[in-house]
Amino acid sequence: MRKPISKAKLLAIIQQFTAIDAVGPSAVRGQRPKTAAKIQSYLGKMDLGKAPRNNRQDFLRWLDLHTGRIQRKLPSSRKRWGVARKTLNLFLRSCFYNHYLRRAYALNKIGPWLEVPLDSVVARELRHDAGKGVLPRWQGLGQLQQHQSQEYQEHARDYAAACKLPVTIFLDNYLWLHGRLK
């Protein structure tokens, strides 16, 4: 006989599915085998209920904490900050978009602080918008450092505000599509 699934178990299943769906092969292209699986496992078990919802600085510290933890899950020769941050941002974007996870963990409150997941297409579009020499040269996700990411994220927030987007994360959809539909 089948047993009912509790709300907590259902949320755990949805979160694990979201982690797998958000961090697919293209998100970790060029990384070692099992990289995606290690990251997916971590994200699937992450306590979303502990995401700070009161101020941006606390939320960014929380992002940095989890970026570091994901980095430690990566193979020793490839502990790439950019890969860890991108996959965390992809996952949080997907959680924010998911009605059940957003409602259960009040993720609507973190929407204004979510970062755009950086990749070559999004970086190219941000650099084009910013103008020559304003943003650091994109050397690839594997070479991305925290200070460079912060510069891209600051410009993304300005760009999203100029487009009158309710939250910066929506810029990801626009830039990703715009960069591929040229």
DSSP 35: H
What burial class does residue 87 get, using C-beta atoms within 10 Å of its C-beta: 0-12 exposed, 13-18 middle, 19+ buried?
A: buried
Predicted TM-score (pTM) above 0.75? yes
Average pLDDT for residues 9-38, to the nearest whole number? 91
pLDDT at residue 79 is higher than 80 = no
pLDDT at residue 76 is higher than 80 = no
- CB of 108 closer than 8 Å to CB of 53: no
- CB of 95 closer than 8 Å to CB of 117: no
Distance of alpha carbon 180 from alpha carbon 105, whole angstroms? 33
Higher pLDDT, 120 or 152: 152
